[in-house]
Structure 1
Amino acid sequence: MLFFPLPFLTAFFLIFVIIQLARYIGRGLDWVVLLTVSGFALQSVLLGISWGFQDMPKLPLISLAIALPPLTWLSLNELAGRVGRHGRTAIFILLVTLIVVNATAFLLGNDDIVDALPILTYLVFGGHLIWSGMHLDLDWMASRPLQSLIPTQRAYLVAGTILLISAGVDVMVALDIRLNDSQISPALVGYSNLTFLLALIVVFFTRHDTAAAPPRPQPSTPQTQTHSQEDETSAESILAKLDQEMETNHLYRNESLSLNEIARKIRVPARQVSSAVNTLRAMNVPKYVNTFRIRDACRILEETDMPVTEVIFAVGFTTKSNFNREFQRVTGLNPSEWRSRACSATEPRPQKDAVRVQERASES
């Protein structure tokens, strides 16, 4: 039958992805990512066995199905630098809770909850990933492990779409089992895996021009040292242009600013821009841009009575949470504390150089 080998082919391709990602262990790749991809590979194997050879115990398949959407969400946010220790803990608590609730419903024979909870999990996390890919200020640094395979924003959109499609397939399979005694369920599973496999192949082999692995370091020789000095000079020149663009034209106020747009503005390849910022300021491009935004926000908070909610958008941020996190990172205070200290007659005025890009870069 046509559907039989497809889950296994998907599993083999996911193993290939795992091998590719394994190259980045120790270079920023979190173990949650490998766990998530391995979970999808295991799910494909179990589906192939269940629909191709013999029925598998239902509880392990359901538990795995519930675990994968939260793990997918966590993996992408880990790679994009958008989740901390508390966020990871919350996701794991939620994951365990969902699995326990579903296992209890399964043991009690409540098929409605057993069928509905995995579908709901796919819908919620898939929808949130798509929303994140369309609205959030995602990291767009070329050296991130995720960027070596697929641009971050595209990864969010693709992962969210796959989760939503999986939810739709699960709905159709559940209805087919109840109404038609599983007459078309094997074909649904097979063709959905074929779609999933083709999507993965297109995504990972159609790479963005900035999605390439960083070059391996070469042994140092007099010639390479000369090139290194030239590269440093070039990086300083690039950063000087970029600093001027930020200072003079307030490029950072553009809410939809991207690495490619910065590169076009100063007429320098995106990879060189990213490398210059990373080398000379010891931070990625989003943090570099956000530091200018925070400096501007500090000025506005000190000199005007503009509400904080308006300051957020005036300096180029799109979300309050991102603004607060970056403000705390750069200044060590929250916006209200900064304004209070600036206006206080009894406390020394906060030093503006606390948020100067040049000096704060080495602390980030």
Structure 2
Amino acid sequence: MRRRDPSRRRSAARREGTRALRASRSIVLSWDEGEMLACNYLTRQVTACSVDLVEFLSHLQDWQRVDEIIAAFQGVTADALDALVHATLLIERDSEEARREEEYLSSWNWGVPAAMLHFCLQDADFLPLEAAEQLQEAKSAEVRSPGLHLPNEGRFHPVISLKDDVQKNSALTAVMERRRTVRECDATAYVGQGSIADCLYAGLGITGWTSNCVGKLPLGMTPSGGARNPFEAYLFVKRVEGLAPGIYHYSALEHSIGRVGETECELSDLVAGQDWAETMSCAIVLCASLERTMWKYPDANAYRVVMIEAGHIGQNIMLAATAAGLTACPTAALSHSRIRDAIGLERLTDTPVYALTIGVPAKDARLAA
């Protein structure tokens, strides 16, 4: 797109009047088999691009009216601009995309690479279990699976056995050994409110306090980078004794649950349509308030720390469920927008990360992991 000589500009009044556009500020460029691609990582849209288009966008870093753009650039039409808006390469002033981008620019401190990872994985498409198994079978026929363990025998000398040193009689070890992911549960069974309380407390409960140069900080049973504790838990109830179906927020500070809404969500809708979740009695969804960790740690490595913390919390929840004779099935396959809408998450830096569905294992159920 070539910039027109100002002396040749002509009026192009349109019905939009003061409609204004600018280039998106969340675009990255890459190449695939010689083709240039532009990705808006906030909207997860990928569009074929050209050098001329990149140059055109570079002239639209500030808001400009549509008629002014058409007058200034030869060959640019209203339809072409609409296509670029649809691809979110151009953003319209006062639109939801513009609001979200401004929030991103003002609140995201971890740079473009971490932002690409985070936003491009929201609401990702996941293969159904049967399709995933077929893919594994087809791949195994062509490429042998890498080994899942690395032995010492034959590689190092000496090799010292620790088998006799494992504390097999420890109550904690016994619970850990029993932990299994069971996706076939009794679809009519209720779980006890006390068991769910134990799971929430084990994962997020506050057990003490410490302080640093800026104030008081909570301590729990799982480690948290800088004691920033970025996670909140939401309980989606179908069958829990003493609780009406609906959505609840767990307050670690009070060790209480508060009713968020009466809406009953199908648990499979929360976990990307995985139908095994429908046999579960409830689900705990861990949502990160990234701003808490960003406040102290501007380094993007802190994003990794938040994800690791979700694993710590999830493991404690699974062990508490195991001790109660239940199964807690973890999954990172989430329907992010569905969860955000259900619990009212509005800030860009508040995000679902991990879910654990909890139920009573069915008799003769197969183990998933």
Range into which the TM-score falls when normalised by the shorter chain: under 0.3
TM-score, length of structure 2 as denominator length: 0.25
Higher gyration radius (CA): 2
More helix by share: 1
- Higher relative CO (CA 8 A, sep ≥ 6), structure 1 or 2? 2
TM-score, length of structure 1 as denominator length: 0.25
